[in-house]
């Protein structure tokens, strides 16, 4: 199996665990923004320590970070934060399932952005493989309520979130490419450290402005929130390593397996039964993963 696929699968699994931890944190008196901030607050120093250790062990020189590198990092980080907030906002809407379904167009949008921004087009067979995965994810998405409109605010939020997640993936891929000729892991950890530091600063400012007192609540619950940081940085390192090795469109398409992990966790951990439609969706996502590997190989 290709190493970038291994990193992507590990990242998707770790991200599923992080979301579970963040859900628990919300029940511990933290707001959605506070639980999200915990991820960046503790991930940033961990990423910086790993980056320092990497260069100390390998003996490589720490690269100069160009303006183009920072442009990609800040673009990716900002897009990721806003996309996350839009996705959370969907849950406050009655027919949020429609919007969530539209966020799944991310894979198609990543492919388009990769071609336009990084000049990394997807092959015809690659498009077919991505489409198979998209259909599978839509099968796995919750059905909208009867009478729910497919046009309106939920759809707008969903498409925008998908687009911003796509921009984030392309931004991070671009940042890792700017660090060539470093090896893939060094490029991944430097880009990750830069992104998480920038996101920590941005979210600290946001919480201080919009939610006074939430910063203190995150810090006083550090024994629980630090786990979010550890799982968050582990998953992010997997994504960044994959981005440093492969076209972001293929990485995000394979990353759709995350929804399969979530569904399996529901079935085996919470004893919720899988429906036929969900089983078909899982089969299509896995088929897409195999087709993408075949297309690239």
Question: Closest by alpha carbon to 74, among 148, 160, 183, 172?
Answer: 172
Separation between Cα atoms, residue 131 and residue 43, nearest integer Å: 33
For 122-173, the DSSP string reads: PPHHHHHHHHHHHHHHHHHSPPPPTT--SSSHHHHHHHHHHHHHHHHHHHHH
Contacts of 216 (CB under 8 A, 6+ apart): none
Summarize pLDDT for 198-226 with one digit per residue, the tens.
999 999 999 999 898 888 888 887 777 77
Longest dimension (CA), the chain: 62
Summarize pLDDT for 112-154 with one digit per residue, the tens.
899 999 999 888 888 998 888 888 877 766 555 545 454 567 7
The position carrying tokens 């806003």 is 82
**pLDDT above 60 (res 296):** yes
Q: Does residue 249 contact residue 107 with C-beta atoms inside 8 Å?
A: yes
Q: Which two tokens stand for residue 122?
A: 């997807």
Other CB atoms within a 10 A radius of the CB of residue 68 amount to 12
Contacts of 181 (CB under 8 A, 6+ apart): none
| Structural domain boundaries in the chain | 1-63+183-255
- Say what the pLDDT of residue 209 is: 92
Q: Considering the entire predicted model, what is its pTM?
A: 0.85
Q: Does residue 38 contact residue 25 with C-beta atoms inside 8 Å?
A: yes
């Amino acid at each position: 199996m290709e190493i970038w696929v291994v990193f992507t699968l590990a990242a998707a699994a770790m991200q599923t665990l992080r979301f579970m931890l963040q859900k628990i944190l919300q029940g511990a008196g933290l707001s959605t923004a506070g639980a999200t901030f915990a991820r960046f607050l503790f991930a940033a120093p961990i990423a910086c320590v790993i980056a320092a250790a990497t260069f100390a062990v390998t003996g490589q020189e720490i690269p100069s970070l160009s303006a183009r590198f920072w442009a990609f990092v800040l673009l990716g980080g900002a897009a990721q934060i806003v996309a996350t907030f839009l996705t959370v906002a969907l849950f406050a809407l009655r027919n949020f399932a429609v919007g969530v379904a539209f966020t799944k167009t991310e894979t198609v949008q990543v492919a388009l952005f990769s071609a336009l921004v990084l000049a990394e087009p997807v092959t015809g067979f690659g498009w077919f493989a991505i489409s198979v995965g998209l259909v599978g994810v839509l099968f796995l998405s919750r059905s909208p309520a009867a009478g729910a409109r497919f046009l309106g605010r939920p759809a707008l939020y969903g498409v925008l979130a998908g687009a911003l997640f796509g921009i984030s993936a392309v931004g991070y891929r671009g940042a890792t490419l700017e660090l060539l000729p470093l090896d893939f892991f060094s490029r991944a950890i430097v880009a990750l450290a830069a992104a998480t530091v920038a996101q920590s600063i941005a979210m600290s400012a946001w919480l201080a402005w919009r939610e006074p007192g939430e910063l203190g609540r995150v810090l006083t619950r550090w024994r629980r929130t630090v786990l979010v940081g550890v799982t968050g940085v582990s998953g992010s390192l997997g994504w960044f390593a994959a981005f440093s090795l492969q076209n972001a469109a293929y990485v995000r398409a394979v990353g759709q397996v995350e929804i399969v992990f979530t569904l399996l966790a529901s079935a085996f951990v919470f004893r919720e039964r899988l429906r036929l439609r969900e089983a078909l969706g899982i089969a299509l996502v896995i088929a897409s993963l195999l087709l993408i590997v075949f297309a690239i190989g």
